[in-house]
Chain A
Amino acid sequence: MRSHAMATAAAFGGAALILAGCSSSSSSDSDSGGGSLTVLCTVQEDQCQQVMDTFTAEEGITARYVRMSAGEAVARMNASKANPEFDVVYGGGADNHVASAEFGLLEPYVSPNADVIPDEFKDADGLWTGIYWGMFGFCANTDVLDDIGAEVPQSWNDLLDPIFAGNIAMAHPATSGTAYQAMWSQVELNDGDEDAALEYFGDLHSNILQYTKSGSGPGQMAGRGEIAVGLIFAHDCVKFINEGFTNLETIYPEEGATFEVGAVSLIKDAAHPDAAKQFIDWALTPVAQEIGVATGNYQVPTNPDAEVTDDMVDRDDVAVLDYDIAEAGAARDELTKRFDAEVAPQPKE
């Protein structure tokens, strides 16, 4: 019996040694001769899957991915900074990429395909390049509006009407880049005056039912008829409408709103930098960008040659506020803290 126990102990010890001997990079590759790539993907899961499949088929490099929200992605990259798990981060608002760059997580790469992308959709230093953009707006449930006897709100000002008390929802700016767009829109509309922007949200506070944790939460709540108006990206509203929430209506505020740019970036010290660069090049082509609409996502592609459908916003029809993405990203921390301290805890009338 003693030898039995000894044998078990030896087996444990052997296993531990083998584990210690495994080095990280050698064991994660299990691919054909074409090379492999690991992508941190923050768009919807089905879009991620199709993007990876198409890239693998076209370029012959096996692309694997993990899907998580943009904020989680930054945190995850930061946590494994010393030993990056991923090569490329695909999707997610540029403000997240700016934050990642500030943490020292990204490496500049200017793709030859980036030439056709307009300047406003890419970083001057090449740290991130835009693959889609979308407008911020309102998503209103026409049935609920009828119930409470309200007109469809057409402007930011309309939202302040007391008739909407407890019938509006937006995400909390700290958790979601979506809500931060709303904040920055107000800052831009007030010519950069942050105090005035916070004052607007203070006024809006009584109409807000809750500040959701997820960016698209308000849209779902509107879709299910729990509130009248959700403040989310217009393309998310269109997505909900096409998924079956038929009593929703997309509104672009009259005064104007900001837009988000979804970007792709090269991660610093990536295990497969060449494959990563190839992926970025490919992501900027029309073929790659059209996968979005094929999987039911209605952001506008940044490549002028990519197809634009009717569901997507038409730049000429709506009021778009131009703004400096880097400036917005830099101010985020402080603005959201002030929101948390000055606006959120106030009692609602």
Chain B
Amino acid sequence: MTLTLDPTSTAAQALPPTTKRRVRGVGRDPSVAIIVAVVVAVLLLLLGLPMSKLVMAAFSDEGLVVFTGLFTNPANLRVVGNTMLLGLLVGVCGTLVGFLFAFAQVRLKFRGKRLLHLLALVPVVAPPFAVATATITLFGRSGVVTSTLLGLNTDVYGLGGLVFVLTLSFSPVAYMNLKGMLENLDPSLDEAASDLGASKARIFFTVTLPMLAPGIAGSFLLLFVEGIADLANPLVLGGDYTVLSTRAYIAVTGEFNVQAGAAYSILLIVPALLVFLVQRYWTGKKQVTSVTGKPSGRAELITAPALRIPVLALVAAWVVVTITVYTTVVAGGFLKVPGVNNEFTLDHFRFVLAGIGSKAMLDTTVMALIAAPTAGVLGMLIAWLVVRKLGRFAGVLDFVGMLGLAVPGTVLGIGYAVAFLVPTEIFGFQILPPLAGGAAALGGGLAIVMVYITRSLPPGQRAGVAALAQINPAIDEASTSLGASGATTFRKVTLPLIHSAFATGITLATARAMTTLSPIVFLTTPGIKIMTSQILAEVDAGRFGNAFAYCALLVTIVLAIIGLINLLLRKVIFRGLLRH
């Protein structure tokens, strides 16, 4: 979920750009060639196959009906319009909230910065339905806050509720991007401007904001894509406001028309792809290598109350809302019928921990633990190949790796269902057995792990690319000129230097894998139970208490695993290899 954009530094600090170096021919280093082959094969399996099957299904007869009907059928046109509007609003609101938090964190002087940082990041580990169901309980027509406390009659279903929930869920992405950019801004330009007599406000609007423009635009685009790709929240909270993801879901599950579902999914991919292409173009223009990557100084923290008070007030208000929502999620599991009958009960936790619930916890955790390190390693490998080894094809490989995030979850799920529920054949020869569904090897778990890896790969890859871009390739070349092969250099030289990016990558991969829902919906099997699809079933049946209990447990497990992985990486694996 965190796609840290490559930091743009000012010209004052740039070393000569070194990305387009003469790369060592891949053919001269067989270990690198093998790695490339393996990575390409894996990506073909994870992404190439499902996507091509999906496109074939979308352009079959039933799918073409959707495309042609796009301009003749007003219902379809309305759905597309709804989706774009939602994306726009989520992009704007999410970026705004993220910017406020980032600005407060980096530029304002106050106590409790660590706490704010943690609170800003809370939504990252939240399961898909948690916020939506809590919002209904709190702010619905008979919500605890709106009806009981304030006496209002608000309809939280529809565009308003969706924008609120999606902003809450995705603003950490904007926050992390903008925080990184603000921290990397060279304050010497600010100081030059104020030496020339500009007021703080003038500096902000004429110097700071323009330098942040790529970051703000990048965040907006990212949130736009995340907003239109989400399935869980529009299902629960959308009401009559149908968007492309729910339309695709209905096409598959209500009309039994997978091809139409594929067609709607393709419509979702187009804006997502555009976003990533634009982002690559923008950030590719300015790139700077420096081993440490820190600016020459820190901007002085602002203490003027005229600025501090409003900003901090807004930030505090949002924090209160966030805390209320997430407390409801955790507490809701202990209430008999949350919002209606607030008796304390342990029944929901008993339901969740016994029987299916415990199996779901075990299965989900095991598969996430298999997928996350794999995604982390794969991401690092791809990042290394892209930044260091591949000349012309670097862009293509980078792009394919990012498809796991660019392609909306529903789309991926349908693609996997279409591709892997049946054996894969070329010219009549079966090269792969079915990998998904009850008839598959390993109880269909393989397809689910693959989906996890695909979805978790991009954050690690992005973090790796950003980290590697800051390291002078002369270090790598020193190693290879001493006789080490490409693979050894990667293992012993590069990896330790980017170990924190690796840790970040794995952390995000795990959080993402365990809370993903949309692709899993189409791949459930008898042998494997997934927590997020269990949560969907409980929300669907109206048993919010059970759903909240599941969510609370899921969050606990995710946090535990993240802590464990970080501990492991820092204390065990990288202990001997760290320079500091």
Chain A interface residues toward B at CB < 8 A: 1-2, 4-6, 8-9, 12, 19-20, 22-25, 27-28, 38-39, 44-45, 49, 64-69, 71-72, 74-76, 78-80, 82-86, 99, 103, 172, 174-176, 209-214, 216-217, 219-220, 223-227, 240, 243-246, 271, 333, 340-341, 344-345
Point out the residues of chain B lying under 8 angstroms from A9, CB to CB.
Answer: 34, 37-38
**In the complex the two chains form, is A2's CB within 8 Å of B253's CB?**
no
Q: Please, how many angstroms separate the alpha-carbon atoms of A224 and B137 in the complex?
A: 9
The reply to whether the CB of B391 lies closer than 8 angstroms to some CB of chain A is: no
Point out the residues of chain A lying under 8 angstroms from B252, CB to CB.
Answer: 72, 75
Q: Which 9 A-B residue pairs are closest in the complex by CB-CB distance? A: A220-B542, A225-B142, A85-B438, A175-B254, A226-B141, A5-B31, A64-B526, A210-B239, A80-B421
Taking CB as reference atom, which chain B residue is nearest A21?
B433
Q: Please, how many angstroms separate the alpha-carbon atoms of A345 and B141 in the complex?
A: 23
Taking CB as reference atom, which chain A residue is nearest B437?
A85
**In the complex the two chains form, is B433's CB within 8 Å of A224's CB?**
no
Point out the residues of chain A lying under 8 angstroms from B74, CB to CB.
Answer: 345
Point out the residues of chain A lying under 8 angstroms from B541, CB to CB.
Answer: 44-45, 216
**In the complex the two chains form, is B256's CB within 8 Å of A78's CB?**
yes
Q: Please, how many angstroms separate the alpha-carbon atoms of A314 and B440 in the complex?
A: 45
Point out the residues of chain B lying under 8 angstroms from A12, CB to CB.
Answer: 38, 41
Q: Please, how many angstroms separate the alpha-carbon atoms of A79 and B239 in the complex?
A: 28
Chain A binding site: helix, strand, loop or mixed by DSSP?
Answer: mixed
Q: Please, how many angstroms separate the alpha-carbon atoms of A212 and B540 in the complex?
A: 11
**In the complex the two chains form, is B256's CB within 8 Å of A99's CB?**
yes
B30 CB contact (under 8 Å) in A5, A71, A99, A175: A5
Shortest beta-carbon distance, A255 to chain B, in Å? 27
Shortest beta-carbon distance, A90 to chain B, in Å? 12
Q: Give the most central of A44, A85, A172, A344: most B CB within 10 Å.
A: A85
Residues 392 to 446 of chain B near chain A (Cβ within 8 Å): 417-418, 421-423, 430-434, 437-443
**In the complex the two chains form, is A244's CB within 8 Å of B525's CB?**
no
Contact with A along B16-50 (1 / 0, CB 8 A): 00000000000000110011011001000000000
Point out the residues of chain B lying under 8 angstroms from A82, CB to CB.
Answer: 422
Shortest beta-carbon distance, B219 to chain A, in Å? 30
Point out the residues of chain B lying under 8 angstroms from A84, CB to CB.
Answer: 439
**In the complex the two chains form, is A341's CB within 8 Å of B75's CB?**
yes
Point out the residues of chain A lying under 8 angstroms from B418, CB to CB.
Answer: 79
Residues 226 to 241 of chain B near chain A (Cβ within 8 Å): 235, 238-240
**In the complex the two chains form, is B433's CB within 8 Å of A71's CB?**
no
Point out the residues of chain A lying under 8 angstroms from B155, CB to CB.
Answer: 209
Q: Give the most central of A75, A99, A172: most B CB within 10 Å.
A: A75
The reply to whether the CB of B485 lies closer than 8 angstroms to some CB of chain A is: yes
Given contacts A19-B432, A84-B439, A225-B340, contact A210 B157 (CB under 8 A): yes
Q: Please, how many angstroms separate the alpha-carbon atoms of A274 and B485 in the complex?
A: 59
**In the complex the two chains form, is B422's CB within 8 Å of A1's CB?**
no
Point out the residues of chain A lying under 8 angstroms from B280, CB to CB.
Answer: none
Given contacts A66-B438, A219-B542, A226-B142, contact A103 B30 (CB under 8 A): no
